[in-house]
Amino acid sequence: MQPTVSKEEIMQVFPKVAATMADALGCDIEDIKLDVSLIEGLDAESIDFLDMVFRLERAFKIKIPRGKIIDNARGELSEAEFEQKGVLTPVGLAQLRAYLSEVPAERFREPMKVADIARLFTPETFCKLVIVAQRETKPA
Amino acid sequence: MLDSGLAGKAAIVTGGSRGIGRATVELLAAEGVDVTFFYRDNVSAAESVVTEGRARGLRIEADRVDIRNAQACAAAADRVAERCGRIDILVNNAGMIRDNQLAAFTDEDVQIVLDTNVGGVFNMARAVVPHMIVQRAGKIVNVSSVAAEKGGRGQTNYAASKGAINAFTRSLAVELAPRKITVNGVAPGVIETEMSEPVRDLAGNDVLARILLKRYGKAEEVAYAVWFLTSRFADYVTGEVFNVDGGYKME
């Protein structure tokens, strides 16, 4: 099962996530809209993603294992069910669309390469990541 | 006096209880750096570095860490960041030799050298780089060896590990340049340390014949190169491996 996260939970963490992302990207906090594409809208590069993850780990006192977004998106699908030779399977793509429900449908390419998934990420994606990590950090 | 910009910085030096590592710890600390060095086995040597350094008013801490263990490296780096508030400098110095003819190697002779010399550098870089990325600054110096570029009998394991460090240095320099983190190497020749004693004992004359300056290097002479690469004087140097070998020639 993919983790489900409510809009309310997202809005709770968003201000701190936005401030952290603005620090990592060196941009104004006003530029960090919930649905802006980090790569296409804010010129984030791969090292910026790492920077954001490291800062979020500190700001929220959580651990975000490397590759966690993709793992979350994949849910209970096996790697082979999710992707073949670096390209998402139809089931994998459907799963990704469901996980990144905040991303407009037209932004998903077909075929979709695993390497291009990061192009879809928005601040909301990172809010979800933080929320799931918080749940996993707290004792049940 | 020129200001190296090192005073007040926080550094980690691996393999700091002896040899080049110890000389580096002492030199950086003398420049006002808060130095934490890691060591694995030699508790009394480590204690003496700390005691003697502190008697001179230097800020030196020791932490017993096996750099082959990635989790131990991450935890130890976090402790330094917690104590100092940041990590400005990483000197990957720890290394070992296990010389023999290739055909006579045991599996362990190969594995332990690669795990320590290469695995340790990966583990430490992975532990420290996240801190440097967030800081948008940092200097990493990897201690390589002349053996990476110049063949030596009985050293395939060691030479391969040091060649890997040179390649690692150049690639990591590319990766971290956007965050103004420099990554360089120092490649010592034959230095008067415990580690090079067997080589000097066995093949001293042959080795000296290949060194243009006709003498072995001193640990401090390598430490000076590390000092330069960690100082502000080397802000515009990255992806380089700097030889400190007295002019060592190929056999």
CB contact under 8 A, A54 and B175: no
pLDDT digits (tens, 9 = 90+) for B153-177: 899 999 999 999 999 999 999 999 9
pLDDT band at B61 (very low <50, low <70, confident <90, very high): very high
pLDDT (0 to 100) of residue A1: 58
Tell which residue, B30, B29, B154, has the closest CA to residue B100: B154
Nearest C-alpha in A relative to B132: A51
Q: Answer yes or no: are the C-beta atoms of A100 and A125 closer than 8 Å.
A: yes
Contacting A residues, span 27-86, partner chain B, CB-CB under 8 Å: 45, 47, 50-51, 54-55, 58
B248 a catalytic residue: no
pLDDT (0 to 100) of residue A4: 82
Q: Which tokens is A94 given?
A: 């459907």
B62 or B205, greater pLDDT: B62
CB contact under 8 A, B134 and A45: no
Mean pLDDT of chain A: 91
ipTM value, please give it.
0.82
Mean pLDDT of chain B: 95
pLDDT (0 to 100) of residue B243: 96
Tell which residue, B126, B236, B250, B231, has the closest CA to residue B180: B236
Q: Which has the minimum average pLDDT: B34-48, B194-208, B236-250?
A: B194-208
Q: Is the pLDDT of residue B204 over 80?
A: no
Distance from CA of B195 to the nearest CA of A (A): 37
CB contact under 8 A, A47 and B130: no
pLDDT mean over B201-205:
77
The Cα–Cα gap between A85 and A77 comes to: 16
Distance from CA of B110 to the nearest CA of A (A): 30
- Rounded to two decimals, the pTM is 0.91
pLDDT (0 to 100) of residue A139: 61
The matching CATH number, chosen from 3.40.50.720, 1.10.1200.10, 3.30.70.141, 1.10.10.10, for A7-137 is 1.10.1200.10
Nearest C-alpha in A relative to B127: A54
Residues of A whose CB is below 8 A from B130 = 50, 54
Class of domain B10-244 as given by CATH: alpha beta
pLDDT (0 to 100) of residue B78: 96
Contacting B residues, span 127-166, partner chain A, CB-CB under 8 Å: 130-131, 133-134
pLDDT (0 to 100) of residue B79: 97
A5 or B30, greater pLDDT: B30
Q: Is the pLDDT of residue B218 over 60?
A: yes
Residues of B whose CB is below 8 A from A49 = none
CB contact under 8 A, A50 and B178: no
CB contact under 8 A, B134 and A55: yes
Q: What percent of chain A has pLDDT over 90?
A: 69
pLDDT band at A2 (very low <50, low <70, confident <90, very high): low
Q: Which has the minimum average pLDDT: A9-13, B9-13, B42-46, B189-193?
A: B189-193
pLDDT (0 to 100) of residue A109: 87
Q: Which tokens is B178 given?
A: 């956007």
Nearest C-alpha in B relative to A26: B136
DSSP string covering chain B: ----S-TT-EEEEES-SSHHHHHHHHHHHHTT-EEEEEESS-HHHHHHHHHHHHHTT--EEEEE--TT-HHHHHHHHHHHHHHHS---EEEE---------GGG--HHHHHHHHIIIIIHHHHHHHHHHHHHHHHT-EEEEEE--GGGTS--TT-HHHHHHHHHHHHHHHHHHHHHGGGTEEEEEEEE-SBSSTTTHHHHHHHHHHHHHHBTTSS-B-HHHHHHHHHHHHSGGGTT--S-EEEESSSBPP-
pLDDT mean over B10-35:
98
- Which residue among the candidates B158, B216, B236, B248 is catalytic per the annotation? B158
Residue B12: what residue type?
I
pLDDT band at A71 (very low <50, low <70, confident <90, very high): confident
Tell which residue, B1, B19, B17, B20, has the closest CA to residue B227: B20
Q: Is the pLDDT of residue A102 over 90?
A: no
pLDDT mean over B211-225:
96
Q: Is the pLDDT of residue A18 over 60?
A: yes
Domain ranges of chain B: 10-244
Q: Which has the minimum average pLDDT: A116-120, B21-25, B132-136?
A: A116-120
CB contact under 8 A, B130 and A54: yes
pLDDT mean over B50-58:
97
CB contact under 8 A, A47 and B175: yes
